Structure 1
Amino acid sequence: MAILPILLVLLCVASVRATVGYAADDLSPPVGHFVVNKKPLIGKPEPCLLLDISAMFHVGYIKAHNNTRGMVSFPLPTTSVVSGDCSHLTDETHSHLNLKFNLNNGTEGVFGLNLTFERNIIFTHFSLSEATMKYTLVPELFPDAKNANATVSGKAKMSGKQFFYTHSNAFEPHSYLCDKTQSIDFDIPSLNAPKSTLSIHHVQVQPFYVPSSGKFSRPETCPEDITTTPGPNVTTPQPTPTPTPTPVIPVGHFALNDTKGNLCILLTVGVMFRVEYDDAKQNITRNATYVLPQDSTVGGGCDESKATIALSFSKGFNLTATFKTTGNKSFELVGASVGYVRTPDLFPNASMPGRAVKEVEQDASLFETDLGKSYLCKSLQYFDVGSTVKLEVVDLQVQPFAVKGRNFSEVSECAQDLPFTTTMMPIHNATTVPPVNTTTATMSPIGNATTVLAPNTTAATFLPIGNATIMTTPMKTPKPTTPPKEPPQGHFEVKDTKGHVCLLANMSLQFSVSYTKADKKKHIGLFDLPKTAHATGFCSSDNSSLTLTFHDGLFSVTFGFVTDKKVTGDSASRFNMSSIEVMYTELPSMFPGTSSPDARKHVSNNTLNMFSAASDKSYMCKSEVNITVSKDVTIMASQVQLQPFGVKSGKFSSAEECSQDTTGSNTVPVIIGVIVGVIVVVVFVAYIVVKRSKARPQKFTIVN
C-alpha cells in the first residue's frame, strides 16, 4: 500500500509538468519551418524569408502571495502563425518575421516572437538586429501570477552581440545554420518582471536572397558548430587542401556583319555567369559558375532601329543582347537572354540533369548612348537575367549602330568610371578595339546575318592574367565638369497589372548631398536625375508609388502618394506626396575625395505633405521646390507635373497649379502695372507743371 502515495505524487507532478510545458532540462523541442512570402506586382507570391527553429521560452514572473520569482518553460509551437515583411529587392536592408501562438489548448491570450534581420550598407552580410517577445500571464500557465492576465513584452539584449552573423550577397547567398544551443536574454521593464530567456537549440535562417524554389541556400555554419577533430598520432603533416581559385573573367572581342557584309555591331566584354540551381542530393541551392569564352560563336542581325548579337558556346549555352534606337538620337539595351544546359560538370547533383533552360530579361533600358558613339564601362557591373541567372560584366564596350570603319567611335563612359564628374563625357580619338580581319574570319550564318570572329590587331598591348588575355589601349581622361544649371526634364510612367498607365510624372530633379571627405570636412555633391531613369512602381485606389532607378542601379528615388478623403469632407478626395526615399552610392566620381568610397546610403522622409491636388486632376508646378529628405540630402524639383491616381488613356488630366506658380503669375503683372501707372502719373504731372510755368506772365523788377 505504501507505493500508492508515490504513484499519486508522480501523477500529480506529471499533470503539472504537462500543463506548464517543457522543463529546462527537457530534450530539444520540435523544429518548426516558417516561410514569409512576398507578392510581387505581377505573378504569384514568392518566398523571401526562411526560418527553421527549435526554441524554448523560459519566462520569469512574480508570484502574488509572497513576491517570489517563478519560472515557466514552454516550446515555440511548430503551428505558430507566421507573418512578416521582406523583399527580394537589393535596396531592402531589413526583413521582419512575426510568430504568434496560443498555449494550453487554446488558452486566451496572445503569445509572440518578433525577429528583425538587417544587412550592412554594402550588402555583404546579415545578422539578427532586434528581437522582442510577448506573452500574457494567463493563470493556467502562470499559477499565482501577481498580475494575472496582464500582457507583458520584452526586448532582447543585443548590445555587444551579433546573433546569426552570416556572410551573404546577391551572387553567393548563404543561410545561417547552428545546432549549438544559444540563448537570447530579454529585458522585461514592465511589472518589474524578472529576466526571460529564449533558448535556441537549432536554427537555420535566410532573410535575404531566398531562392525562388523556397529552399535554403548553402549554409554558413556558426563558429560553435565548427570543431577540430584530432588527427592520428603520427609526425607526418597532413596535406592542406588547395582552395578553389576564383576564375578570371576573360575579355573577348566580337563583331557582327549585316546582310550586306558591313560591320553593324562591335562588342568587347568579359562575362561571368552565376546560375542558381537545386542540389537534389543535399537538398540545398547552389550556384554554377562559368565564364563567356573568348572564341564564342557570333550571330544575330541588324537593321536601322534594332540590333541583336548572340554569343554561343559549348552546346546549348548562349548570351543574347538586343539594342534599339530611341528617337533616332540614341540607343539603349532593351533586352537580354541567357541559355544554359544543366550539365553534370557545371551543375553537379542538379535536379532534372541535362535540362535546357532559357532566362529572359525584357524592358532593361540600360546603357543609353548617343547614336554614333560607343558605350564604355570598364568597372565591374552586376545584372540579373530572369530568376536564376546573375551576370558579372567587366570591360564592356559596345556600339550597335552607325559603325564606321572597323573601330569604335568616340565613347561615353559610365558613371562608375568617371574620376571627377557626374556626367558622361566623350573621349575623342579613342582606339580601343582592333580592326576586324574579315578575310580570315570564321563565318557562322544565322538567318541572313554573317558573323565575324577572331579580330586581329597590332596597336593594342596584351597583358597575361593567368590563362586569360586582356587587351588594353590608351584613352584620354575626360575633363571634370559641373552639373548643368537646369536639370533635364524626364517623362516617366507606371503601368498596372493589366498594362494600363496608372501613374504619370514629368519632372526635373537635382540632388544635393552632404558628404565627408578624408579631411573630415563636409562637402556637397550635386547630381541630376537623368531623363533616362528606369521607372517602376505600383498603383491602387488610395496608394501609389514611383521608383526611379539610374546610373546602373546604384541610385534610386522613390515617391509615395496617398489620397485623403477627409481633406474636403464629402467632396472629391485629394492626393499628396507623403513620403520619399533616396538610395545612393558614394562613387568617387560623384563625391570626390569621399572618406567612404562606394558606400551605400539610404535616407527617407515619411512625414511629407507636398504636391497636393484633387484626385481627378494632375499637379503642376513649374517653379523650383525644395524637398528635404534628411539633414544631408535635399532635392530641388522643377518643371513638375504629376498624376498618381485616375489616369485616363495614358494622358494627364487638367492641371491644378501650385501656389508658387499662381502667386508668381499674379504678382508680376500687378507690379509691372503699378510701375507703369506711377510713370504715367509722374510724366503727366511734369507736363502740367511745365505748361503752367510757360503760360504765367513774367514780372520784372526795375532797379534804380
Structure 2
Amino acid sequence: MVRRCSSAGVCWTLLMGCVFAAHAVTFEVTDGNSTCIKADLNASFSITYNTNNGTRVVVFGLPSSARVGNGSSCGGREVPPELQVSFGAGHALGLVFSSDGRLYRVANMSLQYNLSDTSTFPQSSSTGVETMMTNVSEIFARMNSTYKCVSSSTVSLSARANVTFSDVHLEAYMTGANLSKDESVCSADLPVTTVAPTQTPRTTAAPSPVPPPAPERGNYTLTNTNGTACLLALMGLQLNVTHRSKSLNQTVSEVVNLQPNKTTASGSCGATLATLVLTEELTNLTFTFALNSTTQKFYLSAVNISAFWPDMTDRFAEGNGSLNLLQCSVGRSYMCSAEQTLSVLPTFSINTFRMQLQPFNITSNRFSAVEECRLDQENMLIPIIVGAALAGLVLIVLVAYLIGRKRTHAGYQTI
C-alpha cells in the first residue's frame, strides 16, 4: 500500500490500482458577476475496462486540480444550467439541472473518461474517450436551499461506470454568491427512528400486510420553456418492492401507493427521448420513454426507483434500462383503463390504474386520439363473444321451435 499527499492536502491510497479522493473540491459557475451554480464535491469513480487479459476495475478520485469545464453554463431559454468538471487527461463529470419551480434536481449526470490515459487505465485494450450517462440521481433540493449530503451515495451510470459522492454541498439556480443557509438534507443523512423493544417478547406471528386500495389517479405534465406541454400522463401507480424488513428481520414484499398530492413531476423532453421523474417524500421514480423512428412507435424503455421506506433496512435503488413496454403509435396517446403490472425486476414491479400517457407529438396541450392496450381490447372482446354466443343460442332455439311447430301441424288434416 502506498499513500501520497499533494500540497493541497488531498490524499490518495493506492491499492491494486485503486485511487480514492479524501476531500471535497469547490466549483463555481458564473454568468458575468452572478453565480448560478456552486458545488463542494467529494467524488470517486469506479470503472471497469477491457485489457488484453480480460477486464480490470480502476477506482480513482476527483483530484484537487479539477476545474470548471468549458461546457458549464447558467443556462437560458431552452438551455438548462450545467456544471462540467474537467480533470486529468481528458476526463469530465457533467451535471445538468432542471427545476419545476419548487424543487431543483440533477436531471442528467454524465461521465467522460479517456482510455488513452495509461496512468489511469494501464494495459487498456482500447483507446479513446468513453461517455456514460444516466437521468437517475437522488440529488434534489428545495429552491433557494443548499443540497447537503454527508453520507456516501453511489450513482450507477452503466454496468461499467459508477460515481460515489460524499460530503456534498451544492446549490443551483442561486440568487446570491454564497450557498444558502437553508439546507435540504438528503434522506441518507436523516435520523432513523427506532422503536424500543417491548418488555415481554411476542411469540405470535406478525399479521399479513393488508394490501392498500387502488391508488388515486395523478395528473403529471411536463412543459417546454415556451409553456407548451411536451409530456402528459394520467395514471394511478402502485409500487411492489421486495426488500429486507427492519421490524421482521426478513425479506418481505411491500405494496405502496404513490400519492399524487405529495408527488412532484419533473424531467425533460427530447425528439426521441423523454424522461418523467416523480418524486414523493421517500420515493424517486423515473420513467424513460424512447421513440423508434423505424416503426414510428414510442415505448417505455427504462424505469428506475430509489426508495427508503420506514421499514427498509437499506435504501432500495434499482432500475432496468432494457424494457420495451407500453408500445403506442407516435401521434397517439396510450390508454389502459384496466389494472396492469409492469415487471421491471424480480424485486420490483409497478401496478398501473386507468393509465393514459403521451410523451411525444402533443398538440394543443391535449392528449391525441387513443390507442388502447391489449387488456382493454380483450376486456371489450369478451362481452362481444358472450353476446354473440347468446344470440347464436337464441337463434338455434328459435329455429328448433319453428321446425318442431311445423312438424306438429303436418300430423293433422283439415276437416
Smaller-chain TM-score bracket = 0.5 to 0.7
Change (3 A) 1:688 1:208: farther
SS at 1:211 equivalent: strand
1:696 correspondence with 2:387:
no
Q: Which residue of 2 aligns with 1:133?
A: 121
User: 2:151·2:166 contact (CA, 8 Å) conserved in 1?
Assistant: no
Q: Which residue of 2 aligns with 1:526?
A: 255
Displacement, 1:520? 5.1
Question: Which segments of 5 or more consecutive residues in structure 1 lack a partner in the other structure?
Answer: 1-23, 54-60, 62-75, 101-108, 114-131, 137-149, 154-168, 176-204, 214-275, 279-284, 286-386, 393-415, 420-479, 568-572, 589-593, 699-704
Residue among 263, 284, 302 paired with 1:579: 302
Change (3 A) 1:587 1:566: same
Q: Which residue of 2 aligns with 1:671?
A: 386
Change (3 A) 1:560 1:174: closer
Residue among 328, 331, 339 paired with 1:624: 339
Q: Which residue of 1 aligns with 2:56?
A: none
What is the distance in 1 between the residues matched to 2:350 and 2:209? 20
User: 1:35·1:49 contact (CA, 8 Å) conserved in 2?
Assistant: yes
| TM-score (structure 2 length as normaliser) | 0.57
1:603 correspondence with 2:331:
no
Q: Which residue of 1 aligns with 2:183?
A: 390
What is the distance in 1 between the residues matched to 2:376 and 2:121? 53
What is the distance in 2 between the residues matched to 1:79 and 1:521? 45
SS at 1:556 equivalent: strand
Q: Which residue of 2 aligns with 1:492?
A: 220
Residue among 365, 368, 373 paired with 1:658: 373
User: 2:242·2:348 contact (CA, 8 Å) conserved in 1?
Assistant: yes
Aligned-partner residue type, residue 227 of structure 2: G
1:84 correspondence with 2:104:
no
Q: Which residue of 2 aligns with 1:549?
A: 279
What is the distance in 1 between the residues matched to 2:279 and 2:113? 34
User: 2:291·2:297 contact (CA, 8 Å) conserved in 1?
Assistant: yes
What is the distance in 1 between the residues matched to 2:385 and 2:28? 60
Residue among 160, 164, 168 paired with 1:209: 168
Change (3 A) 1:510 1:648: same
What is the distance in 2 between the residues matched to 1:652 and 1:38? 39
User: 1:36·1:86 contact (CA, 8 Å) conserved in 2?
Assistant: no
Displacement, 1:676? 1.6
Displacement, 1:687? 4.5
User: 1:99·1:112 contact (CA, 8 Å) conserved in 2?
Assistant: no
Alignment of 1:272-421 (within 5 A): 387-390=180-183
Q: Which residue of 1 aligns with 2:288?
A: 560
Q: Which residue of 2 aligns with 1:180?
A: none
User: 1:555·1:583 contact (CA, 8 Å) conserved in 2?
Assistant: yes
What is the distance in 2 between the residues matched to 1:515 and 1:651? 39
Q: Which residue of 2 aligns with 1:643?
A: 358
Q: Which residue of 2 aligns with 1:340?
A: none
User: 1:580·1:604 contact (CA, 8 Å) conserved in 2?
Assistant: yes
Aligned-partner residue type, residue 395 of structure 2: V
SS at 1:486 equivalent: coil
User: 1:48·1:207 contact (CA, 8 Å) conserved in 2?
Assistant: no
Residue among 506, 509, 514 paired with 2:237: 509
What is the distance in 2 between the residues matched to 1:501 and 1:51? 37
SS at 1:672 equivalent: helix
Displacement, 1:692? 2.4
User: 1:545·1:559 contact (CA, 8 Å) conserved in 2?
Assistant: yes
User: 1:574·1:612 contact (CA, 8 Å) conserved in 2?
Assistant: yes
Residue among 84, 89, 110 paired with 2:116: 110
How many pairs align? 298
Aligned-partner residue type, residue 241 of structure 2: V
What is the distance in 1 between the residues matched to 2:242 and 2:215? 19
Displacement, 1:615? 2.5
User: 1:549·1:557 contact (CA, 8 Å) conserved in 2?
Assistant: yes
Change (3 A) 1:44 1:546: farther
Aligned identity (percent) is 21
Aligned-partner residue type, residue 370 of structure 2: A
Displacement, 1:554? 0.6
* Higher RCO, 1 vs 2 (CA within 8 Å, ≥6 residues apart): 2
Displacement, 1:34? 7.8
Change (3 A) 1:90 1:522: farther
What is the distance in 2 between the residues matched to 1:510 and 1:690? 60
CA-to-partner distance for each residue in 1:586-615, whole Å, 9 max, x for gaps? 324xxxxx6x2xx32112111111122232
SS at 1:662 equivalent: helix
User: 1:557·1:580 contact (CA, 8 Å) conserved in 2?
Assistant: yes
Change (3 A) 1:206 1:661: closer
What is the distance in 1 between the residues matched to 2:395 and 2:297? 46
What is the distance in 2 between the residues matched to 1:35 and 1:675? 76
Change (3 A) 1:38 1:660: farther
What is the distance in 2 between the residues matched to 1:566 and 1:659? 22
Aligned-partner residue type, residue 305 of structure 2: V
User: 2:342·2:350 contact (CA, 8 Å) conserved in 1?
Assistant: yes
SS at 2:219 equivalent: strand
Question: Which segments of 5 or more consecutive residues in structure 2 lack a partner in the other structure?
Answer: 11-23, 45-51, 53-64, 67-86, 98-102, 129-145, 153-163, 186-191, 196-207
SS at 1:619 equivalent: strand
SS at 1:663 equivalent: helix
Residue among 507, 521, 535 paired with 2:265: 535
Displacement, 1:52? 11
CA-to-partner distance for each residue in 1:450-481, whole Å, 9 max, x for gaps? xxxxxxxxxxxxxxxxxxxxxxxxxxxxxx99
Larger radius of gyration: 1
Aligned-partner residue type, residue 91 of structure 2: V
Displacement, 1:645? 1.4
SS at 1:608 equivalent: coil
Change (3 A) 1:212 1:575: same
Change (3 A) 1:174 1:692: closer
Displacement, 1:556? 2.5
Aligned-partner residue type, residue 268 of structure 2: F
Change (3 A) 1:99 1:608: closer
SS at 2:294 equivalent: helix
Aligned-partner residue type, residue 541 of structure 1: A
Q: Which residue of 1 aligns with 2:156?
A: none
Q: Which residue of 1 aligns with 2:136?
A: none
What is the distance in 2 between the residues matched to 1:578 and 1:516? 28
User: 2:148·2:169 contact (CA, 8 Å) conserved in 1?
Assistant: no
What is the distance in 2 between the residues matched to 1:556 and 1:30? 37
Displacement, 1:541? 1.2
What is the distance in 1 between the residues matched to 2:165 and 2:238? 38
Displacement, 1:530? 1.7
What is the distance in 2 between the residues matched to 1:171 and 1:538? 24
SS at 1:111 equivalent: coil
Displacement, 1:641? 1.0
What is the distance in 2 between the residues matched to 1:90 and 1:493? 16
What is the distance in 2 between the residues matched to 1:697 and 1:645? 76
